[in-house]
Structure 1
Amino acid sequence: MSILYKTSRLLHKQAHGIQVNTCRWNSTVKNGFIDEILSSKKALAKITTLSNRIGLQPKFPMNTLAQALIDKTAVQNASVSNEKLWTVGKILSDMYVLEKIKCLYPRLPEKGVQALQGGLLDSRALNRLGNSWGLEVQRWNEDPKQAYGKVLAKTTEVETTRVAGEVYKPDAMKRAILAILGAVHLEGGFKESKKFVDSHIFSRQLEPRTMLQILYPRRQLARLCRRLKLKDPVYRIDAETGRKSREPVFVIGAYSGPFCLGQGQASSLDLAEQQAAYNAVLSYYIHSPPFEQFPSETLQTSTASFSPIPYISPGELVL
């Protein structure tokens, strides 16, 4: 068995209410608080609407979805809250997002990887996702019974905790969404959880070039050419206009031998050179080679074959 497969089996066994023989979440366990929530017609309508809106299976148990909306701050009993579901969802979301970033952009520096991951999974991103679902978090002064059907969480008044200039984004929404992902996985397996992540978390397209900050681009390009055993970069003017006017424009290319590594355009020769070097280094980092499959596609069975990515990055440039 692969390590990932053994880990997935361990996750199934550790989750509360799991039936080890069938590897499914035991959604028939009776719980008074969850039953009380579902006894409210208004709450049941909200939860059913949420289930349909996010594309869950028709047979998906409503009590499991209701439990995913109970934050650990709202109840003292951890078995009632979404804490264990959230733990499973957190592991799965990190795995799916990181493997996609690493497979698509194997040369991307670690800071760029973390920025992309944060853009998809941080509190702000998942709050926007929850808002697009119509999901709400219990207000700090709202009666819990009136908040049934929302994300139940104990929060404080925003103005007493918010730092000046900071946008208040509670983590309760993030934990609820990841708990729903964990519930989807425990009910439907890797296939359904992967489908859920593709449909919702990866629905937001992030451009890696906006997540990367390159300092000293000319020095980095020179170091990169030496690493790749290319000739040192030479900067040439490809085009220019208005040199003696108030608004000149220079187009400069960064060349290594006969190859143009990048082009830059600016109002001065120095800035155009820096832009050309920046674009050359950036195109190296965000290169996306073709690959056949994601590693998680082998988790359905322990005997599944895997075709590794045909490229391994030598690492980030160090100046």
Structure 2
Amino acid sequence: MKRIRLDRWATQIQPPRNPRLHLPPFSSETRAPRRELQQRQYQIQHQWQHQRRHAVTRRKASSAAAAQLEEAESAAPIPLDTSQDGDGAASPPQPQYAPSHRRAAQSAKLSALHARLALPSKLPLQTLARCLIDPSADPRPGYNNAPFALLGQDLLGYYTSEYLMCHYPRLPMPVLFAAQYAYVGSATLGAMRAEWGVEVVAAPGQEVDPGLLQLKRSVPGNAMLDGETRQLKDMPQARRLGSGRRNEEYNFRRGMSSRIVFDDQFGDLQSGLQPADAQPYPGAAISSPAADGAEAGSEQEQLALDTAASAPPPQPQSPEETHPTTVEQGSASFIRALAGALYLHAGSAASKTFHKDHVLSRQLPLHTLFHFTHPTRDLSRLCAREGFEPPVARLISETGRLSRTPVFVVGVYSGDDKLGEGAGSSLNEGRVRAAAAALRSWYLYSPPDSEVVLPSEVEGAAGTGRSKKQWKPQMVDIGEVIT
């Protein structure tokens, strides 16, 4: 279970409440920005008065004069953003790819969704509308749900993993990965979006309702890989490659240690990663092997760094240049963004309540996630490791031995203790099923609820108040049986 610094995420994603408190101290260097701010406010006020004067004149004028005035305004429209940069030229207004946040307060779909999910009043409708905008519809990070989804994914994974590890401390790692995916995987989150009644827009744009999920759908098809004879549907991990590690190559044998260290919270390949040689930001320094002419090389590197630093940052892409996504991935991004937005606006208690009500409330039969290839051998190794007597299979009851459908009930005993019981159409099948049942009962052990204390319940704001819990050391198992 990995710890994450949630306070860093909160300070990086959510802006400060009062920007005046975070201004640098007054000096001669900070006079220019304040003067520009005053000019900006004066221009906005002058523009509002100018528009109001035109509105009064239009009401008093005749129809012919009003038509001439409208033609003049259409010929020379007043720009919405009259701020000037250092060269004195007015900067163009920001393009709008998704519905404006001003329309969120008048959206009936957003208000109904807010009430249906019983979200706290601290979460505004504008933030809920932003959670519905996928990066494929609006590539700007300040307008889509990518920052919220990144935080929400870590929160949902953290809450789910601590719940599983504290309530079922003996779960093997493959079963733990499968249980995490069953709770907060993309398929489950996509089903949750449909259950909530959130509809998906056919095509994103400014004219659609803010209560719809905005994304650019991927075109269905089965394209061939570049330079390969395989098709995308036959190679589902083709689009996930990109971190440069060897374990992401096709048909590479990845062990459990590799899945724990390198892969994501579900044990799958990391998705959306940049190549290993990609720069983290424009103008970042990249090391190179030392040459004979160290001084000449350093001068060239410094010149290259200065050129890269002086280059303007890349402009945001348009929706036509973004990669399309599926409805399942867009739905998962929406729910993860909603969990992250709840943490930022309402705190950790609201995010934990959301996780408990919508994630942990779903039924998951953990016993169906186990798959044993040699249960009898694994049970023998387990008994030898724990110091139990060797397991012995005994016939408990039978019926129809000479018929077409016989049933044999076999039990596995360690001394006088019965470890498991199973029924099969033959003695060997009953013995194998009894051994598998004994292994499942061992791995699915759960301590009493009074002894389970989650780490998130005693840290931060969640550990204060009337319902404060005292930390108790949780059980840490020796691990699964390795044969």
- TM-score of the superposed pair, with normalisation by structure 2: 0.58
Whole-Å separation in 2 of the counterparts to 1:177 and 1:95: 15
Whole-Å separation in 2 of the counterparts to 1:71 and 1:40: 16
Matched, 1:292 2:452: yes
Q: Give the deviation of 1:306 after TM superposition.
A: 1.9
Residue in structure 2 matched with residue 313 of structure 1 by the alignment: 477
Whole-Å separation in 1 of the counterparts to 2:13 and 2:177: 28
**Matching residue within 6, 10, 22 for 1:8:** 6
Whole-Å separation in 2 of the counterparts to 1:232 and 1:100: 33
Whole-Å separation in 2 of the counterparts to 1:222 and 1:20: 65
Q: For residues 208-227 of structure 1, what are the structure 2 equivalents within 5 Å?
A: 208-227=366-385
Contact 2:172 2:443 (8 Å CA) reproduced: yes
Matched, 1:71 2:134: yes
Residue in structure 1 matched with residue 159 of structure 2 by the alignment: 96
Point out the more displaced range, 31-40 or 178-187: 31-40
1:131 and 1:18, CA in 2 relative to 1: closer, same or farther beyond 3 A? Answer: farther
Contact 1:69 1:152 (8 Å CA) reproduced: yes
Contact 1:16 1:79 (8 Å CA) reproduced: no
Letter in 1 for 2:459: L
Residue in structure 2 matched with residue 128 of structure 1 by the alignment: 191
Q: For residues 106-117 of structure 1, what are the structure 2 equivalents within 5 Å?
A: 106-117=169-180
**Matching residue within 213, 227, 240 for 1:151:** 213
Contact 1:38 1:44 (8 Å CA) reproduced: no
Whole-Å separation in 2 of the counterparts to 1:268 and 1:19: 71
Residue in structure 1 matched with residue 100 of structure 2 by the alignment: 36
Whole-Å separation in 1 of the counterparts to 2:18 and 2:102: 27
State the secondary structure of the residue aligned to 1:215: coil
Matched, 1:242 2:414: no
Matched, 1:53 2:213: no
Q: Give the deviation of 1:180 after TM superposition.
A: 0.6
Q: For residues 167-206 of structure 1, what are the structure 2 equivalents within 5 Å?
A: 169-206=327-364
Whole-Å separation in 2 of the counterparts to 1:144 and 1:228: 65
**Matching residue within 283, 305, 318 for 2:441:** 283
Letter in 1 for 2:161: L
Structure 1 or 2, whichever has the larger Rg, is 2
Residue in structure 2 matched with residue 25 of structure 1 by the alignment: none
Letter in 2 for 1:172: G
Point out the more displaced range, 276-285 or 294-303: 294-303
Aligned residue-pair number? 302
Q: Give the deviation of 1:32 after TM superposition.
A: 8.9
Contact 2:201 2:212 (8 Å CA) reproduced: yes
Contact 1:16 1:84 (8 Å CA) reproduced: no
- TM-score of the superposed pair, with normalisation by structure 1: 0.87
Whole-Å separation in 1 of the counterparts to 2:356 and 2:164: 13
Point out the more displaced range, 31-40 or 251-260: 31-40
State the secondary structure of the residue aligned to 1:146: coil
1:93 and 1:154, CA in 2 relative to 1: closer, same or farther beyond 3 A? Answer: same
Task: Percent identity, please.
Answer: 31
1:117-149 per-residue CA deviation (whole Å, 9 max, x = no partner) reads 10111111001100111112222x465522532
Where does structure 1 differ by over 4 angstroms across 4 or more consecutive aligned residues?
18-21, 31-35, 141-144, 159-162, 301-305
Letter in 1 for 2:208: Q
